[in-house]
Amino acid sequence: MLCETFRRLVEFGAISSFRYVGFGSTYFSDFALFHRSLGLRNMISIEKDAQNSSRFDFNRPYKCIDLKFGHSNAVLSTIPWNVRTIGWFDYDDPLDASILADVRFLCMSASPVSLFVFTVNAHPDEYDEAHPRLTALTQKVGEEKVPHGVQEADLSGWGTATISRRIITNEIRETLNSRNGALPLDNQILYKQLFYFRYADGAKMMTVGGLLYERGQSSSVAKCDFDSLPFIRTDVRPNATPYTIEVPSLTYREIRHLDSQLPRPKRKRLSSPKVSAKDLRKYEAVYRHFPHFVETEI
């Protein structure tokens, strides 16, 4: 889904001219995908585990990936930001002041027509009467960052994801307000939210992000036609509805059988022996973006 969205940036020039910044870890899955599918060659992977630098270097799938070791708060400030950049910052941790510092730095420094995506762990803390969730959130992000009116009950279930997204969005708005203060109207930086995902891969996760561009580039942004993609979410209101990614439970054979029926005519039903209607619905919604694996026998 991210890849399909990034392709729409061709309105601003060749996608291969963009730089990609992210956290490759030892698998570099996102780097491999974006290099193969989009032709990105200017790529930077930030790795905080400097003690295992040789392992990251060994697992680096392409020579064009530049490894930079250290915490993102420190590394981001060493990178020049006069290059249009696509960045996916896939944090394992819940939202905290450190992550907000990255959001703030990127929104203050990035070249116009840069697209940033932030993923955070949004699983609610275990309820403890002695240490309420709201107290824990306040300690992580700072009292001034917690939206007015948030209560303990708002942080249960998917509530932590909702509040985390509000905090990140507020940080983007406040930073851009500061950045735009001395800029001419046409050069002021706007933010168009494109992603607001929720999914659970053991823990509840939330992804939010979008495009930074100059007001004078608004007509080119409109030509990108992001809104025609079914998973795009541009509503930044506090009660906005996310795109929930639901992963069906299917075997490889069932997937191949369903693929042979897709895309289906409106009046034709999707079917597979013993697969629930719920899993059929889930798969049809994401089949074009569903990861494919190869079965091997040893």
Condensed to tens digits (0 to 9), the pLDDT of residues 104-153 reads 999 999 999 999 999 999 999 887 888 899 999 999 999 999 999 999 99
Asked if residue 204 and residue 263 are part of one domain, the reply reads no
Does residue 40 lie in a domain region? no
Q: What is the pLDDT of residue 266?
A: 84
The answer as to whether 232 is a domain residue is yes
Residues 193 and 260 both lie in one domain: no
Confidence of residue 296 (pLDDT cuts 50, 70, 90): low
Burial of 101 (0-12, 13-18, 19+ CB in 10 A): middle
pLDDT at 294 over 60: no
Mean pLDDT value across residues 270-289: 93
Residue 144 domain flag: yes
CA 43-47-51 angle, 5° bins:
135
Q: What is the C-alpha to C-alpha distance for residues 110 and 116, in angstroms, rounded to an integer?
A: 10
Same domain, 102 and 232: yes
Helices (H), the chain: 2-7, 29-38, 53-59, 72-75, 97-109, 133-141, 159-180, 218-224, 252-259, 277-286
Residues 6+ apart with CB under 8 A from 243: 195, 196, 197, 198, 231, 232, 233
Q: What are the backbone angles phi and psi of residue 119, rounded to the nearest 5°?
A: -120, 130
Q: Are residues 10 and 152 in the same domain?
A: yes
pLDDT score at 119: 98
Rounded Cα distance, 151 and 131, in Å: 14
Burial of 10: CB neighbours in 10 Å, binned 0-12, 13-18, 19+: middle
* Same domain, residue pair 95 and 114: yes
User: In 3-state terms, what secondary structure has residue 43?
Assistant: strand
Alpha-carbon dihedral sign for residues 250, 244, 37, 70: negative
Token couple for 200 = 């659970």
pLDDT above 70 (res 61): yes
Residues 172 and 220 in one domain: yes
Mean pLDDT of the chain: 95
Inside any domain, residue 49: no
Copy the structure tokens of residue 250: 């299917």
Are 159 and 188 in the same domain? yes
Confidence band for 201, pLDDT divided at 50, 70 and 90:
confident
User: Is residue 69 pLDDT above 80, yes or no?
Assistant: yes
Does one domain contain both 237 and 176?
yes
- Flag the least confident range among 52-56, 66-70, 110-114, 245-249: 245-249
Say yes or no: 187 and 278 in one domain. Answer: no
Does residue 224 lie in a domain region? yes
In the numeric block, which tokens belong to residue 164?
A: 């985390």
The answer as to whether 282 is a domain residue is yes
Phi, psi of 146 (to 5 degrees): -75, 125
Containing domain of residue 129, as a range? 2-18+84-244
Using left for φ > 0, alpha for ψ between -120 and 50, and beta otherwise, residue 130 falls in alpha
Q: Which residues contact 71 (CB under 8 A, 6 or more apart)?
A: 48, 98
Domain assignment present for 268 = yes
Domain count, the chain: 2
- Same domain (yes/no): 133, 210: yes
* Residues 21-52 pLDDT 10s: 999 999 999 999 999 999 999 999 999 999 99
Same domain flag for 168 and 281: no
* Same structural domain, 174 and 93: yes
Whether 59 is in a domain gets the answer: no
